[in-house]
């Protein structure tokens, strides 16, 4: 179906509808966790569903994204989103981790507390997670191999708070709860939260001919770009980001230079106090799943009295 979309034989919307009707729906019914609605057609548990690790056909948005670059969120915008209590604590914690550690999502989701070296103040990147199948695999996302990423001083309080909530040292720092294709749904939720926080910069929310609208992968772009704003050594940044060459880091991720500090605020700001307190719904682990924006329709953060750095007064 992807070849048909690329050749222009069918539209990307038609391909996705066919994928859903012919592949996803039948297999989801055949492989369920004892759902009584599909007992007559059940073949096995949802974990045995063979299509969860199969990529869907390329979409129109993805075709456009291939030609556009990701862009970072400015520090003052990030502080505004972190201060927006209409967004759940779990979601804001996830975004903070994704930004301050600037890992690929597959590496971030695979992190365990045993990967945190408190004495060295760094996180060891040793594995990745297939977000469609849930299978954990050794090795990192890139060819650069295993690496260590320093823990920023303003991320340390959050990590310590989350560590106190853990059930065991071996559990994952982030527990992904949801169905297959959670990875794609996280991008949609990220964009909804950006709008919910009242961040209305057109390029960030809508994108442009050259720039993609902000999505979950953009948190990695944000963290790398903030290091560029601080003037971090290019070889160090490439090492921390998992690239063999600084050219890759600077061409794809480092979007701002030191001159942006005066315009956009200080990178890696201190996190709000509510993120450092016990989250009653976390169950001892940062658990995240794409929820519905319907719960937040009456809550808006753009009307808050915020100073230029995004801190609630």
175, 288 Cβ separation under 8 angstroms? yes
Separation of alpha carbons 193 and 203, rounded Å = 16
The two structure tokens encoding residue 169: 């040292």
Separation of alpha carbons 125 and 141, rounded Å = 9
SS3 (DSSP) at 17: helix
Averaged pLDDT, groups of 10, the chain, 313 residues long: 62 69 80 78 81 66 61 94 94 95 92 96 90 73 80 97 91 70 72 92 86 90 93 91 85 75 88 83 48 38 42 33
Task: Return the closest-CA partner of residue 302 out of 190, 194, 189, 191.
Answer: 194
Q: Which residue has the tokens 């903030």?
A: 226
The two structure tokens encoding residue 294: 């319907």
Left (φ > 0), alpha (ψ -120 to 50) or beta: where does 207 sit?
left
CB neighbour burial string for 164-188, b if at least 16 within 10 angstroms, e if fewer: eebeeeeebbbbbeeebebbbbbbe
Q: What's this model's pTM, rounded to 2 decimal places?
A: 0.71
Task: Return the closest-CA partner of residue 60 out of 3, 6, 132, 1.
Answer: 6
pLDDT score of 44: 83
Q: Which residue has the tokens 């939720």?
A: 189
Sequence-ordered list of residues with C-beta below 8 angstroms from that of 195, at least 6 positions apart, any chain: 205
pLDDT score of 102: 95
The angle that helices 89-101 and 75-82 make with each other, rounded to 10 degrees, is 150
SS3 (DSSP) at 21: helix
Separation of alpha carbons 34 and 244, rounded Å = 47
Q: Which residues pair with 129 in a beta bridge?
A: 136
pLDDT score of 85: 92
Separation of alpha carbons 277 and 280, rounded Å = 9
Separation of alpha carbons 235 and 282, rounded Å = 37
SS3 (DSSP) at 281: coil
């Amino acid at each position: 179906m992807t070849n048909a979309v690329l050749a222009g034989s069918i539209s990307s919307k038609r391909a996705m509808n066919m994928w859903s009707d012919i592949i996803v729906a039948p297999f989801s019914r055949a492989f369920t966790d004892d759902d009584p609605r599909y007992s007559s057609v059940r073949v096995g548990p949802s974990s045995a569903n063979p299509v969860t690790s199969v990529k869907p056909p390329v979409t129109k948005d993805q075709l456009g994204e291939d030609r556009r670059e990701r862009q970072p969120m400015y520090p003052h915008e990030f502080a505004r989103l972190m201060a927006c209590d209409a967004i759940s604590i779990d979601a804001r914690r996830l975004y903070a981790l994704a930004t301050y550690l600037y890992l690929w999502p597959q590496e971030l989701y695979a992190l365990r507390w045993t990967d945190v070296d408190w004495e060295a103040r760094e996180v060891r990147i040793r594995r990745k997670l297939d977000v469609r199948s849930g299978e954990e695999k050794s090795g990192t996302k890139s060819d650069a191999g295993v690496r260590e990423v320093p823990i920023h001083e303003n991320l340390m309080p959050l990590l310590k708070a989350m560590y106190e909530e853990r059930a065991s040292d071996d559990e994952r720092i982030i527990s992904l709860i949801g169905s297959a294709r959670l990875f794609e749904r996280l991008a949609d939720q990220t964009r909804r939260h950006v709008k919910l926080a009242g961040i209305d910069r057109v390029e960030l929310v809508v994108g442009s001919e050259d720039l993609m609208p902000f999505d979950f992968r953009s948190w990695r772009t944000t963290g790398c770009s903030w290091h560029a704003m601080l003037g971090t050594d290019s070889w160090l940044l490439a090492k921390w980001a998992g690239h063999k060459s600084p050219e890759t880091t600077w061409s794809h991720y480092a979007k701002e230079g030191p001159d942006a500090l005066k315009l956009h605020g200080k990178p890696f700001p201190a996190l709000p106090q509510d993120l450092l307190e016990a989250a009653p719904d976390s169950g001892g682990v940062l658990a995240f799943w794409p929820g519905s924006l319907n719960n937040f329709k009456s809550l808006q953060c753009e009307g808050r009295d915020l100073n230029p750095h995004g801190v609630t007064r």
